[in-house]
Amino acid sequence: MEPVIRVHSKTVVISSSNIDTDQIIPARFLTTTTKEGLGRQLFADWRYHADGSPNPHFVLNRPESHGAQILVAGRNFGCGSSREHAPWALLDFGFRAVISTEIADIFTGNSLKNGLLPIVVDAATSAWLLEHPGADVDIDLESKRLTLPTGVSVSFPLDAFARHCLLNGIDELGYLRSKTADIERYEAARTW
């Protein structure tokens, strides 16, 4: 995995709360057997009309969203299913970070394992970001700080291990496999 140290980008705002993984990528697209190309189906039911043409009113179809790497969303982003297709689709589209006041557990884990940053911020920072789409935001993993274009800087929580893996491009499976001797000992010691 490529190291992730910093994301600096303008934002795209989808202010809805409780954006579930069925919105991020509907189930009918999960018949794929690879990870590639899912960006086309990101937010498919909001992004396209029934005939497949783009909905020009949806934010991702507007020219000002082009090239944005940070998605700002309402509370409880990524709830619902465990489909890792959700972060795969966001990454394939070009996003590198999602910011909300709450992000669902399974989505958080899936995102971190793929280099998509799930950034949880306080209500005031979130409110400012929701009100200022297109704002230039800096996310620095080393200092665990998010900086707004106003100069206001806030810290965000991030699991120490996930941060270490992201900063150094470490694949978690490699770490887990380094514990094989412990796993063997555990299996041997189990009496039930």
Taking the least distance from each CB to other proteins, the nearer of 129 and 148 is 129
Residue 67 C-beta: closest distance to other proteins, Å: 27
Instruction: Using CB atoms within 10 Å of the CB of residue 80, give its burial: 0 to 12 exposed, 13 to 18 middle, 19+ buried.
Output: middle
Taking the least distance from each CB to other proteins, the nearer of 10 and 75 is 75
Cβ atoms of 89 and 25 closer than 8 Å: yes
Taking the least distance from each CB to other proteins, the nearer of 9 and 100 is 100
Taking the least distance from each CB to other proteins, the nearer of 152 and 183 is 183
Whole-angstrom CA distances from 9 to 50, 96, 139, 150 are 32, 9, 9, 14
Residue 109 C-beta: closest distance to other proteins, Å: 6
Binding site for other proteins (CB under 8 A): 15-18, 20, 22-23, 26-28, 30-35, 45, 50, 74-76, 79-84, 102, 104-106, 109-110, 113-114, 159-161, 164, 172-173, 175-177, 179-180, 182-183, 186-187, 192
DSSP letter string over 136-158? EEEEETTTTEEE-TTS-EEE---
Cβ atoms of 170 and 1 closer than 8 Å: yes
Characterize the bridge pairing of strands 136-140 and 117-120: unpaired
Residue 136 C-beta: closest distance to other proteins, Å: 26
